[in-house]
Amino acid sequence: MISKEQQAAAKVRARGNGQTLVELVATQLAGLDPPASAAEITTTLATAHPGRNIVATVVRSTLENRVSKGRAERSRQRRAVFYSLLTAGAGTSVEAPDPALRDPAVSTESQDTA
């Protein structure tokens, strides 16, 4: 029977340079100028890392996860879906909350002095 340490060591050796698929996909997205499809990203990763078993469905899931977390953006052209790194101005801006609402002590002090 293989120990957990041996299994972990085998996983690290399988990765090659130790990067997770999430890190590889993020690096690939950062290097893209025009957006790319999940199939194109999968092919590029499989070519760059021949020792790894890179599966299109897992890459697509990773890309969709990044989109849902606001770290990548998805664009559609007819039936094709393309992914790119989220640009700084593309996200929705969120205003910082009022400090008085965040800290009850500040809120109390401002009411006492008024």
Residue 106 has pLDDT above 60, yes or no: no
Q: Which domains are seen in the chain, by residue range?
A: 4-113 (1.10.10.10)
Whole-structure pTM value: 0.62
SS (H, E, C) 1-69: CCCHHHHHHHHHHHHCCCCCHHHHHHHHHHCCCCCECHHHHHHHHHHHCCCCCCCHHHHHHHHHHHHHC
- Nearest-CA neighbor of 29 among 69, 79, 82? 82
- Do the beta carbons of residue 80 and residue 39 sit within 8 Å? no
Q: What is the pLDDT of residue 82?
A: 94
Residue 66 has pLDDT above 90, yes or no: yes
Which one-letter DSSP state was computed for residue 109? Answer: H
Greater model confidence, 8 or 27: 27
Per-residue pLDDT of 20-36, as tens digits, reads 899 999 999 998 888 99
